[in-house]
Structure 1
């Protein structure tokens, strides 16, 4: 048997603060979502000016990253290239999950313990904000 780390509210707040700081630097109106390793929501924030639909998309990106343990941008690239069958993953998960850039798995000791999803801007900016958020879990500067 092994012990698996779990995200706590303090972790989620640190991750969200890093995402909010990066979004502010870029004047980005985004939503951010953090979920646990099972894809269940832990924290969802819609920044001022972000589209209402961006909250659902951010959660779907976070869920896909957590359940698949891979960046959603990599999954999007695979779907657009050699692996269109990966489109079926969202249906397998039975809840909203999308393979669009802006979602990253949250790792602890090489184990996926959750996911972060950012939605509202370009895939590149969403991804950069997600990277800053994920780095905050590791105590790294965004």
Structure 2
């Protein structure tokens, strides 16, 4: 039997805090979320003034990144490049830029998702979250 690392509550809190800090530094209003490797929500924070819909989109981006074991933006690119069949995959609802997997010791342990600003800005915050968690 194999063993692998898993996210702990302190990791989730570290990621959420890093995401909110980065967003605050940039003056962006976002929702940040962290899921485990099965896409189950472990933590979510929506900043005051951030559109309510971001609280739905953020965890879906994270879930997509966890289940696909890749950044959620890759699916958006495939769809935009003509592979529209991915629109029918019900489990991949967060096919927008802003979800990133969390890898520790070479193992997929979860993912983060960010929603509320431009795609590259969501991704910048998501990367800060991942960096803080794996540090």
Same fold per superposition (TM over 0.5): yes
Relative to structure 1, the CA distance from residue 4 to residue 18 in structure 2 (aligned partners, 3 Å threshold; closer, same or farther) is same
- CA 1:83 to 1:110, structure 2 compared with 1: closer, same or farther past 3 Å? farther
Structure 1 residue 82, shift from structure 2 partner: 4.6
Residue 108 (structure 1) aligns with: 104
Give the match for residue 133 of structure 1. Answer: 129
- How does the TM-score come out when normalised to structure 2? 0.94
Tell me the number of residue pairs that the alignment of Structure 1 and Structure 2 aligns: 135
Deviations 1:26-45 (A, max 9, x none): 11100011100011110010
Contact 2:33 2:41 in 1 (8 A): yes
Q: Give the drift of 1:85.
A: 2.1
The match for 2:47 is 47
Please give the alpha-carbon distance, in whole angstroms, between the structure 1 residues aligned to 2:107 and 2:75. 19
**TM superposition shift of 1:86:** 2.2
What is the root-mean-square deviation in Å for CA atoms of aligned residues? 1.2
In structure 1, stretches of 5+ residues that fail to align are: none
